[in-house]
Each structure stands twice: as C-alpha cells, then as structure tokens.
Amino acid sequence: MTNFQSLLNLIVDNQDLIDFDHKGIKDLHVISGKLFHEIVSNVKSIKDKSIDKKSFIKKAIRDAFELEEQDLILIKKEQIVIKIIQTISRDETEKRFNGYSEEEIEKLYNEYFDEKTLDRFLEEISYGIFKYLFVRKQVTNDYYEKNVYSIIQNYIARELTDFESEDHNFRKGFAGYIFRINFITVFTHISDQILEAISYRDEYLMNWIKYYNGQVIIKHNKRYAAPAIINPDGQKYNPSALFGTIAVWFKTKEKIETLEKKLNDISKNLDKLKIDNLSPVEYKDELVQERREIEEDIYEANERIKELLDEKRLNNDEEKKYDIDDEIQELRQYMKEDKKEVDEINAQISSIDTISTKRLEEDKSRLEKDIQREEKALKQNYKVYQSIQLALVKALTSKRKPI
C-alpha cells in the first residue's frame, strides 16, 4: 500500500471523528484531536523529502471528500479546517468581496482568525505595505491616493498563504472583507510607522507628509483642496511642526525598550546565581536560620549534660550513674555531629556570593524605577500622540477634493 493510499484510508475510515458542520456552520468541517494527530503522524513517517507534506494532506482530503479545487483546506496548528466554497454563490456583477456572499465570508473569517492571530496578521501586513509604499517605492502623494486601497487588498490576498492553492477570486474577495473589517486598524498601524520614521527625520516622509496641509492644488487646470491632518476634535496640525511633538513620544518608547532589555538581562543574571531556586541572599538567610536551630540544639544538649553531671554527683546508685554516663555520651555524640554540620553550613555561607546579587538587585530596583518614570511620561503624552495619530489616519484615508 502506498503512503498516499494509507493516508486516504485513514481519513475515509475515521469520518466518525470529523466534526461536520462545525458549530452549526453549514459546509464547515473540522478535523482535530485524535484523527488530526494520526494524520500528522502518518505524514511524518514519509521518507521522501521531495514531498510537500501540506500539499500531500490536502490532496488526500480532496480525494476523500471529492472536493472541488475552489474548496478550502486550511491546515492549522491543531486542526484541519475544510470549507466547501462551491456552495457559496458568486455574483460576478457584484464588486464588493469579489462577488462572494458577505455572510459566508464572515463565517470563514470568524473561524480562521482568533484574536491573537488576527492582531499579528494585521501588524505584519501593515508593516509590509508601509515598506512597499514608503521605503521601497517611495511613492508620490498622487500615486498613493489613486492606488493605496487596491494595493492593500492585493497585498492581503498575497499574504493569505494558507489559501495559496485556492481560487484566486475567493482569495481576493476574502482579502477585501478582511480589509473592510479592519480598515482603521490597518491605517493606524501604517500611520504609526510613518510617524516613527518622521521622528527619526526620514527626509522622504517628512516631505511626503507636507502634502496634508489642506493646500490648494491645481492639476489639469482644475483646483483641488488637499486633505489636512485634523483630529476628530477639529484641531489641525501643521505637517512641518509634527517632528518635535512625536520625537519625544518615540524617544521615550525607545528608552523604555532599552531599559526593559537591561532589566531582562539583569533578571537572567540573577536567575543564574540562584541556588535551589532561591537568590543567594535568600539561600544564605535559610542557611543562617538552619544554623541557628542547630546551635540551639547544641546549647540545649550542653545544658542537659550539666544537669546530668550534677545529678551524677549527687547520686550514690552505681547503676543509675552508668545510665547517666550513657546519656551524657549519647548527647556528646549528637553535639559532635551538630557542630560538624554547623561547620559545613559556615563553609557554605562563606562560599555564597551575595555581594554580586545585592549589586544586581540594586541595579534592578533602579531600572524598575526608571521604567516607571518613563512610562508615566509616555502615559502623559499619550493623548497628544493619539490625537496626531487619529488625524493622520483620517488624512491617509482621504483624497483631494475639487473646489
């Protein structure tokens, strides 16, 4: 039996383990748990390194369920998601979402993204778009206004790598939905990147952003008003004057990151000095406490010996004296062992480097205070930064208007 036939049989023979119409969503099927791990284990055993294992699994699932090419198979960390796309009607005359049903796309969107995955995806695609437009291409304001939306949608479609083998029209429609739902978030990330670049005096972007001052533009004998950087409260910002305000914000953020890195390094060094999961100071304190308890035992034994010697001196019974001598001998043996243990503890205490620990802990305490101070300053400036950020997002999503 071939590897492929073995995998195909595994899927077909275990359909009772598949969650059909997952969460009541029609034509959304999920393979997870035992069957998922058996599929992964089956494919891992394939020795032919030229075989793409994801494609191998997808081909077996397509054959097992007789799926069409446009149907989606998404192999995730702990599950395989199957979405029957052929049941999603497409109206080729409808431009939004490339003609696909918004309701069906929304269901897939909610299944495909969890909050953490979505946040990471949006940050990555926004940074990629920023680099493409403003680092690699260094586009003009005119080009940006005409093309930014289509560029973002196409970029999102390209980054949907789990959908690489799926229908192009559906990928583009799904990308359009993702963009619409996260429109402000995407432009907020892009505006953050622009403002950060300006805070570092990026010459191209400092000139590029000057366009957003509400100026009158004459093009092809027509007059237009350029967008302006105006926050929701109606406050207008002069693009040329933004540098000083946002530089403080990003310098503070950078300082916090540097301090946190130093704090992390110190914490790692303190961890290396730990003994039995305790800091050297804590470990030494425990040893001192242990020594104190043993010394108390020695003192009590010594006092008992004094009592026994007095008792022996006053006692005329020879048998009783023998018993007293035996107890004294036993106590002295205990004291000898205890004193030896105290010497060992003293040697341990002497070998512990508490000076380095105390110095590192002092440095740690100082850094924590520095971070708190900078975070307080960042918090105080947050409203100003957010105001500029919101104003820039509004400008980035606006176009010149004819006047």
Tokens 């440095």 belong to which residue?
363
- Identify the weakest region by mean pLDDT among 4-8, 141-145, 198-202, 251-255: 4-8
Q: In the Cβ-directed half-sphere of 75, how many Cα atoms lie within 13 Å?
A: 17
Which phi-psi region, left, alpha or beta, contains residue 100 (left: φ > 0; alpha: ψ -120 to 50)?
beta
Helix (H) or strand (E) holding 75: strand 72-75
Residue 244 has pLDDT above 80, yes or no: yes
E strands, 220-369, are: 222-225, 229-230, 236-237
Instruction: Decide which of 98 and 78 is more confident.
Output: 78
Residue 365 has pLDDT above 80, yes or no: yes
- Full DSSP string of 209-223: GGG-B--EEEETTEE
Instruction: Decide which of 285 and 90 is more confident.
Output: 285
| Chain centroid offset of residue 342 CA | 49
Percent of the chain with pLDDT over 70: 94
Mean pLDDT of 365-394: 94
For 208-230, the pLDDT digits (tens) are: 999 999 888 888 888 989 999 99
pLDDT at position 98 is 59
pLDDT at position 250 is 93
Mean pLDDT of 111-118: 83
> For residue 291, what are its two tokens?
């020594």
Q: pLDDT grade, residue 96 (50/70/90)? A: low
**pTM: predicted TM-score of the whole model, two decimal places:** 0.68
Q: Contact 182/122 with Cβ under 8 angstroms?
A: yes
